[in-house]
Amino acid sequence: MNLQPLFGFTAVSLLLLAESVPALAQSASGETAPGSTYDVGRTQASIAEVLFKPSDTGEPPDTRGAGSRNDRLCPQDAPNRPDSLSTAPLALTALVPDNHEGLTWAERPTIWIYLPETSARQMVLSIREEGSQPHSQQFLPITGSGIVGIPLEESALPLEVDQSYQWAVVLVCGDRPSPNDPVVTAWVRRVAAPGESPQDALERAVWYGEQGVWYDALTALVEVRRSQPTDPVFTEIWVNFLMQPSVGLGAIANEPLQ
């Protein structure tokens, strides 16, 4: 797949050309994946970890250079001293494996990001087809920091099977979008599901992880965490999942879920 190196800039530029900013979409911070009822004791006893095994989908797309700010923070939120590494805040981060690409079986998957503490009041999720054709765009309010899920709106066209899409999340640092706003980008590719997934959320996460279906595995694990937010077993499973070498998200593994 050919990189669209100016995707982040283009997404913001299109926003600047709009005559008015659309109404903010309903916040994703209060939404959760569809629930499932399962025996907590049974899953604790039978599943101790969820592994992610990346599927071999060929050379992953390169997203280097897609961001308009390499620190992924609003200017007013960045440290005053560039050498203040010990106090530097975590930056806007896409929750995707190291190769910046993930699979999904869902028509409208949930996109996951880490949102730092920020003075920005809204963000934008833009999705493009592999050939740069716009697919969908959502404005969302920012209500706090942490790991945030952005489900694709029901009004958005479903992702097509065997098609790749590049997504970008832009923090709107001022009153309106700017080309200098921080942005992260990654890829999502929808593939056909081989069959019915397990009903149990943790079993689903294991199943997705074994088959390299990143977005669905992560969403299922979030469901598990939210069902038992103080359970140390589920917390350990979650942290270990993000810290795997195949994932590389250890820096935000202990950040709160929104």
Strand partners, 112: 149
**Which alpha helices (H) appear in the chain, and where do they start and end?**
7-17, 40-46, 201-210, 214-227, 232-243
Total residues belonging to the chain = 258
114 near 169, Cβ under 8 Å? no
pLDDT at 207: 95
pLDDT at 83: 55
Rounded Cα distance, 223 and 34, in Å:
8
List the one residue out of 211, 83, 114, 105 whose CA is nearest residue 161. 105
pLDDT at 59: 54
Q: How far is CA 123 from CA 12, 145, 172, 185, in A?
A: 11, 12, 5, 13
pLDDT at 31: 38
- In words, the CATH class of domain 7-31+58-76+89-200+213-219 is mainly beta
Rounded Cα distance, 105 and 198, in Å:
14
- pTM for the model stands at 0.78
Name residues of the chain where pLDDT drops below 70.
1-45, 57-70, 80-89
Which DSSP state fits 80?
A: S
Rounded Cα distance, 101 and 5, in Å:
15
pLDDT at 35: 38
Rounded Cα distance, 40 and 227, in Å:
9
List the one residue out of 102, 94, 249 whose CA is nearest residue 165. 102
Residue/partner pairs of 80-89 with CB below 8 Å, 24 or more apart: 89/116, 89/117
If one counts every other C-beta atom within 10 angstroms of the C-beta of residue 123, the result is: 26
pLDDT at 110: 97
Rounded Cα distance, 60 and 191, in Å:
15
